[in-house]
Structure 1
Amino acid sequence: MPMPTPPYLLRLRRADDAAAVRRVLNDVLPDFAHVFPADKAAPILVKPNGNANMNALTGNTTDLRLLVALLGHLRDAGYTDVTVGEGTNSGFYRNKIGVMERLRINAAAARFGYAAIDLNQAEGLPVPFENGVTALVARPALEAALVINLPKLKTHFEAGMSVCLKNLMGCLVGQENKKKTHQSLAANIVNLNLALRPALHIVDALVAMEGLGPTRGTPLRLDALVFGENPYLIDLACARLAGFPADKVRPLAEARRRGLATPNMDAFLDGLALPLLAGSPLAPPVAGPLATFIHHPKRQKYFLAIRNTPFFTWLAGTDWFGALLFKTGLRQDVFCRDELRLDALTLDAAACDDCGACRRFCPAGLDPKAVAASGDRSQCLACLYCLLVCPRRALSFHGEPGYLTEQLRQYDALVRELDGRQPQWKGEV
């Protein structure tokens, strides 16, 4: 007989490289064996956070070290019908930019013989939203035997924080259905979770984000993974781990109002004495004055009424107006249409001091120096984590950087500092 599970199941574990992530999954996932299908051919959907084409080292998207380790675990467990699915945000969708390809999520899935699909393009089924509105959610997400949610721990200028609850917005089909969420953002995020009900959540706090998230904040290396079944409990826990007031997380406040985030959960978390992962509270997501004024909950509906008109949609698709929106803080992303082309990575042996940063951050568990020396990239995911994190710039990129140029402009120095900023939090749950 399966062992009975306690009322709440939460695990916090430390992991500082790809091998450690694999060890943690092998150690922790047996605690959640009851959520996995007995039928090895049952459909499983893995839902990462692919909000934008800024990779995980910026604190924006799900770390490939976690995704690769999880897919490897599922393959080794014998699961044959695993799909990685994400429907990235409206701007990238509108500009026909393949975020999953740019983040190398597709390559990670293919490594294990699994599919990766754009949930924006999937067949949709209706779920109820506020005020009699219905929105279409991707059928693969609704009909999977198991949905595994892989949210990123980050601050968010509209929601307060984005963790388990917010991450499911990527299961909505296309721009039109994502727009419907914003008609009553917190309530509809909760509605979406009630419809989908993922059975397992693994929060990626390997590199988190503070400040003006989800795309323009500051990355923080925390080396942490949080596991659980109840998204309200986990988001409450993550608020504590981040030192972020739970009542400032709009979906959590709505969940409290509905009795989904309960005092019993607070009491349970009180007994765990969770650490502050960054040693101090995460900086809040303070936007510029114009964005703060417009996105206030009482005024946002008027802005949305204008933003969703055909003329404004066309205008927002122009480069000059998009640059203006970015400069004023009304837009977080830069929608670069230029693709990256990697011809080779080369190593400057004189610059390399063998600090090991490239090995620690490689999702495939490779030695990037050896790959660069041999030129054999057959096992390489081409994610460029090694290039981006190297503090001495010992690896050189050859090819066309394309969209990576914008990430380098915003984050190059911050990402190269990650390996030298090891977190000091203690205590696992």
Structure 2
Amino acid sequence: MTAFRLDIRRAASLAETAKALADVLPAYAHVFPADTAAPILVKPNLNANMNALTGNTTDLRLLCALLGHLRDAGYSDVTVGEGTNSGFYRNKIGVIGRLMVDKAAARFGCPVVDLNHVPGKPVAFENGVTAMVAAPVADAALVINLPKLKTHFEAGMSVCLKNLMGCLVGQENKKKTHQSLAANIVNLNLAVRPGLHIVDALIAMEGLGPTRGTPLRLDTLIFGENPYLIDLACARMAGFPPEKVRPLAEARRRGLVTPEMDAFCDGLSLPLLAGRPLAPPVAGRIASFIHSPARQKYFLAVRNTALFRYLAGTDWFGALLFKTGLRQDVFCREEMRCDGLTLDRAACDDCGVCRDFCPSGLDPADVAAMGGHPDCLGCLYCFLTCPRKALAFHGEQGFLAEQLRQYDALVRTLGRPGR
């Protein structure tokens, strides 16, 4: 039997995440460049401006812990790169800035590149189609993939394989993937081949992912080199039928998922939800009808017309698409402005949730008392997770108001481990 390796670690704070990396990554030393000046590209999942607490995007605790680890190991050319999804790209909304990823990377001296706006290199897709993958990805000595574990209404689940769609340049190339979604996701993985994958299951998502599902606190990181094995293992551990994960099913058809992998995953003893499967991504009747594999090509043909693109840019039609489930995101153009947080000492019971969720390892009570801190990213993880609402936000909520509308009550329950 072929030898496989998969490392699963628990982590519930920045310190525990950093320790998990320090404990596990030496076993993967062979994937790291011997030359510490060689370019490394870190690819998070920044699908939308809903932050990691919703289960949508890569957790800043993982990103900061990894960038710190790479800095301490002496790597001097580390770039964070992501091409956020087409709707935000089309509406000229800067997801990277809204998620504070640029501020997080700057703390470690790392640039952040929007892969939608860089030169590309050709990748062969189905039916003779050529797409362009971002040159910083193709040219990196090592690509480290940081996917989020979440369900996905088109792909079934989004883990390592699906996350590479963000390596494509701009909306035009991402649209090409959808012409044969599962097959082209596999084609992209065969072309890019990240050397290391670290799955962010600190807070995962079930239900109607990738944006409208339910967050689940799992406090888990999954490390490995083989994306097919990892995605298969994640499906098994999540109680999700692997055959329902479309890229995984396509990979099996091509022989990239083998019986030996099945046997390896059969031996995994860590069901992520203690035996309860993730809720499947069941869309509404209209979205399910249109997005079925047999009909999606017709929807794509309509969606790519000039008239549809014009209508999709209007608020009223966008609201209709969201209501029917054909669109998962709300494209808020108003930016957030945080003038600071204040702490209600009477409401605070010192539960420590805010400290556990801070990507900078700070005590938000001290930050609020001091009126700020140079290492505070302004991500608002502390404000959003406080179960007693002891932290008060001052400023303009802007786009954050939509996240609060959909997720405020759910996110404030994340302080209970194992929910």
8 Å CA contact 1:220, 1:278 repeated in 2: no
In 2: Cα distance, 1:32 partner to 1:176 partner: 35
Residues 278 and 56 (structure 1 numbering): CA distance in 2 closer, same or farther, change over 3 Å?
Answer: farther
Aligned residue for 2:38? 42
Within the candidate set 147, 164, 171, 2:167 is matched to: 171
Aligned residue for 1:338? 334
In 2: Cα distance, 1:97 partner to 1:326 partner: 18
| CA apart distance, 1:269 | 1.7
Partner-residue secondary structure (3-state), 2:293: coil
Tell me the TM-score normalised to structure 1 length: 0.96
Within the candidate set 87, 90, 104, 1:94 is matched to: 90
Within the candidate set 376, 399, 403, 2:399 is matched to: 403
Aligned residue for 1:245? 241
Within the candidate set 24, 28, 35, 1:28 is matched to: 24
Q: How does 1:373-412 map to 2 (within 5 A)?
A: 373-412=369-408
Aligned residue for 2:291? 295
Partner-residue secondary structure (3-state), 2:415: helix
8 Å CA contact 2:56, 2:205 repeated in 1: yes
Aligned residue for 1:69? 65
Residues 10 and 390 (structure 1 numbering): CA distance in 2 closer, same or farther, change over 3 Å?
Answer: same
In 1: Cα distance, 2:340 partner to 2:114 partner: 28
8 Å CA contact 1:186, 1:254 repeated in 2: yes
AA at the equivalent of 1:194? L
8 Å CA contact 2:199, 2:221 repeated in 1: yes
AA at the equivalent of 1:396? A
Q: How does 1:263-282 map to 2 (within 5 A)?
A: 263-277=259-273, 279-282=275-278
AA at the equivalent of 1:266? D
Aligned residue for 1:309? 305
| CA apart distance, 1:270 | 1.9
Aligned residue for 2:108? 112
Partner-residue secondary structure (3-state), 1:206: strand
8 Å CA contact 1:13, 1:225 repeated in 2: yes
In 2: Cα distance, 1:206 partner to 1:244 partner: 18
For residues 237-277 of structure 1, what are the alpha-carbon distances to aligned partners after superposition, in whole Å with 9 as ceiling and x for unaligned?
A: 00011110000000000000000011111111223334233
In 1: Cα distance, 2:274 partner to 2:70 partner: 31
Segments of 5+ residues of structure 2 without an aligned counterpart are none
- What is the RMSD computed on CA atoms of the aligned residues? 0.9
Within the candidate set 140, 150, 171, 2:146 is matched to: 150
AA at the equivalent of 2:126? E
In 2: Cα distance, 1:392 partner to 1:279 partner: 30
In 2: Cα distance, 1:277 partner to 1:142 partner: 36
- 2:354 is aligned with 1:358: yes
| CA apart distance, 1:378 | 1.1
In 2: Cα distance, 1:246 partner to 1:271 partner: 16
In 2: Cα distance, 1:277 partner to 1:227 partner: 18
- Among all aligned residue pairs of Structure 1 and Structure 2, give the percentage whose two residues are the same amino acid: 78
For residues 222-246 of structure 1, what are the alpha-carbon distances to aligned partners after superposition, in whole Å with 9 as ceiling and x for unaligned?
A: 0000000000000000001111000
For residues 284-304 of structure 1, what are the alpha-carbon distances to aligned partners after superposition, in whole Å with 9 as ceiling and x for unaligned?
A: 000000000000001000000
Segments of 5+ residues of structure 1 without an aligned counterpart are 1-5, 425-429
Tell me the TM-score normalised to structure 2 length: 0.99
8 Å CA contact 1:222, 1:278 repeated in 2: no
Aligned residue for 1:103? 99
AA at the equivalent of 1:220? L
Q: Where do 4+ consecutive residues of structure 1 move more than 6 Å?
A: none
Aligned residue for 1:3? none
- 2:418 is aligned with 1:423: yes
For residues 370-391 of structure 1, what are the alpha-carbon distances to aligned partners after superposition, in whole Å with 9 as ceiling and x for unaligned?
A: 0000113211011000000000
Partner-residue secondary structure (3-state), 1:418: coil
| CA apart distance, 1:323 | 0.5
Partner-residue secondary structure (3-state), 1:38: coil
8 Å CA contact 2:237, 2:268 repeated in 1: no
In 2: Cα distance, 1:118 partner to 1:208 partner: 24
AA at the equivalent of 1:315? L
For residues 135-181 of structure 1, what are the alpha-carbon distances to aligned partners after superposition, in whole Å with 9 as ceiling and x for unaligned?
A: 01000011100000000000000000000000000000000000000
- 2:86 is aligned with 1:84: no
Partner-residue secondary structure (3-state), 1:419: coil
In 2: Cα distance, 1:225 partner to 1:338 partner: 34
In 2: Cα distance, 1:206 partner to 1:389 partner: 14
In 1: Cα distance, 2:158 partner to 2:56 partner: 10
In 2: Cα distance, 1:279 partner to 1:113 partner: 42
AA at the equivalent of 1:338? E
In 2: Cα distance, 1:278 partner to 1:297 partner: 32
Q: How does 1:153-232 map to 2 (within 5 A)?
A: 153-232=149-228
In 2: Cα distance, 1:344 partner to 1:267 partner: 52
| CA apart distance, 1:278 | 5.1
Partner-residue secondary structure (3-state), 2:217: strand
In 2: Cα distance, 1:345 partner to 1:23 partner: 29
Partner-residue secondary structure (3-state), 1:74: helix
For residues 314-333 of structure 1, what are the alpha-carbon distances to aligned partners after superposition, in whole Å with 9 as ceiling and x for unaligned?
A: 11011110011001110000
8 Å CA contact 1:364, 1:379 repeated in 2: yes
- 2:119 is aligned with 1:123: yes
In 1: Cα distance, 2:99 partner to 2:135 partner: 23
AA at the equivalent of 2:354? C
In 2: Cα distance, 1:62 partner to 1:279 partner: 25
AA at the equivalent of 1:197? R
8 Å CA contact 1:149, 1:198 repeated in 2: yes
